[in-house]
Amino acid sequence: MEEKRILIIEDDSIAVRTIEEMLKQRGYRLVGSVGNGLKAIAMVEHELPDLILMDVVLQGDMDGIDAAVKIQSRLDIPVVFLTASTDEKNLKRAQETDPYGYLIKPVKKYDLYSAIETALTRHRMEKKIKESEAFSSGLLNSSPVPVIVVNLDNSIKYVNRAFEVLTGFGTGEVVGLYPPYPWQKKGSDAGSAAAPEKNEAQYRKKNGDLFIVQTAAVPVSRDSELLYHLVSWEDITLRRYLEEQILDISERERIRVGRDLHDGIGQELTAISYLLGVLARKIRSGELPGEREIEPVMKQMDHAKNHVRLLSKGLSPVNLDRNGIAVAVDELCRSAERIFGIRCEVECDDIAIRDNSKATHIYHIIQESLNNAVKHGKSSNIKIMLKRRGNGIFFSVVDNGVGLPEVDANREGLGMMFMKYRADIIGGVLNVNRRKPTGTIITCLINSID
């Protein structure tokens, strides 16, 4: 058993010798004794004992209670008070220091041993709890997800660093608060942060900006006793913004398709109907139409057919056949070469994607990457690679353009946001990096496409 080191702070030499003898009999080691408060602090910092026996009344300007306060503010060492006084004022002051025990002088052997072991055991357990709390706090603070610990009375017990970054509220500003919390919007139904029925909520940052989170509350118990709720947030503000933008784009696309159908194909069908009407009147009059009269009808039908093909291509760029994505990407490159006068190379494995939605998202990511390389990157040479990676896909778009501007490297336009959003929808991770000496490389890894 490790020998425990004990310091006695007592100005009565007879009491010191008596206690010292008791300590030796029990196997404790006395590291020293002192009867002055200021000297006691210096000796504690030098010796670092395992426990301090502190007389309440000491010589000099500093009594034992003040000395204990000073020591505990600097070091984590348990203090057991010695006192022969029953003065209520001193007892109250001593209690405010949260001591590990009291011994009434003259000290009895059994009481001394019991007080020392109780204090050392309590200190050891408190140290383990502090270490556990520090470990848990370290884990929570390292998490990128905002976390709130809510007491059973709905007061805030703890928030992690990610919460502070997202909301702008510091730990000292929110711990101990009750609903309504400062991030809840005024006039809203301000309930507990751990309310299980609310899995999506809109809150307000310290600077007034709105944000949207998905919440999940988990009850934490010990021995069937509920202790608190652990609440985690997922910031979905950007996701909701992109979804709104996509709905807006979808609505504009629906209007465009309707206009194309009416103004384009509708007019062409009207023209075909008119020409067929002319032929029908000839046939009813007993005349057979000649080749010169039928040819305009055939040409008009070809125009309508091509118009329908182009319209359907825009709505569904990837065919559902075995090599639909490869064919679509190759056609995209050939079209870019014709329109922009660039060189576009495609290297593609034999890849079958049964989910047309996933294939379409991949196509649009590559399409946006190619357009950015030409329009913003001023590229003349682009290479697109699409490869199998186990059950998933890896693809990249590499160009020789001017690359990402240093100033805008950390800023994202709507097009880039959409690309990352599409990648996230299909379980992919998109990365955009500068390429040395010039150019940009965009990569995306999708772990599974089945």
Sign of CA pseudo-dihedral 120, 121, 122, 123: positive
β strands within 306-410, DSSP E:
343-348, 381-389, 392-399
Q: Which CATH number goes with the domain that contains 59?
A: 3.40.50.2300
pLDDT computed for residue 422 by the predictor = 86
Looking at 315, 349, 365, which one is the last position of a domain?
315
Same domain, yes or no, for 378 and 275?
Answer: no
Q: Which CATH number goes with the domain that contains 362?
A: 3.30.565.10
Q: What angle do CA 366, 359, 445 make, to 5 degrees?
A: 60
Tokens of 289: 């139409």
Same domain, yes or no, for 46 and 101?
Answer: yes
Same domain, yes or no, for 50 and 121?
Answer: yes
Same domain, yes or no, for 334 and 398?
Answer: yes
The three-state secondary structure class of 162 is helix
pLDDT computed for residue 320 by the predictor = 45
Same domain, yes or no, for 308 and 358?
Answer: no
Q: Smallest Cα–Cα separation from 300: which of 285, 317, 279, 331?
A: 279
Indicate the angle between helix axes 291-315 and 266-284, nearest 10 degrees.
Answer: 160
Same domain, yes or no, for 248 and 311?
Answer: yes
Residues 385/395, Cβ–Cβ less than 8 Å: yes
Same domain, yes or no, for 431 and 408?
Answer: yes
Same domain, yes or no, for 14 and 134?
Answer: yes
Looking at 296, 315, 334, which one is the last position of a domain?
315
pLDDT per residue rounded down to tens, the chain (450 residues)? 578 999 999 988 899 999 999 999 999 999 999 988 889 999 999 999 999 999 988 888 888 899 999 998 999 999 999 988 666 777 788 888 888 888 888 889 999 999 999 999 999 998 888 887 778 778 788 888 999 999 999 999 999 999 999 999 998 999 999 888 888 866 555 556 665 555 788 899 999 999 989 888 888 888 888 888 889 998 888 888 877 777 776 667 666 666 666 656 666 677 677 678 878 888 888 887 777 778 877 877 877 776 676 666 555 555 545 567 888 888 888 888 887 888 999 998 888 888 878 888 898 899 889 888 888 888 999 999 999 888 889 999 999 988 776 545 455 677 788 888 888 888 899 999 888 888 899 999 998 876
pLDDT computed for residue 156 by the predictor = 92
Task: Give the chain's domain count.
Answer: 4
Residues 4/29, Cβ–Cβ less than 8 Å: yes
Q: Which CATH number goes with the domain that contains 166?
A: 3.30.450.20
Tokens of 439: 């150019």
Biggest CA pair distance of the chain: 143
pLDDT computed for residue 84 by the predictor = 80
pLDDT computed for residue 297 by the predictor = 77
Same domain, yes or no, for 81 and 104?
Answer: yes
Same domain, yes or no, for 343 and 405?
Answer: yes
Same domain, yes or no, for 107 and 22?
Answer: yes
- Full strand arrangement of the beta sheet holding 440-446: 343-348, 381-389, 392-399, 440-446, 428-434
pLDDT computed for residue 444 by the predictor = 93
430 sits in which H/E element: strand 428-434
The region, left, alpha or beta by phi > 0 then psi within -120 to 50, assigned to residue 390 is left
Looking at 208, 235, 262, which one is the last position of a domain?
235
By residue range, what is the domain housing residue 349? 324-446
Distances (CA, A) of 126 to 12, 51, 66: 32, 14, 23
Sign of CA pseudo-dihedral 80, 2, 24, 20: negative
Q: Are strands 5-9 and 51-55 parallel, antiparallel or unpaired?
A: parallel
In this structure, how many other beta carbons lie within 10 angstroms of the beta carbon of residue 70?
16
Same domain, yes or no, for 132 and 151?
Answer: no
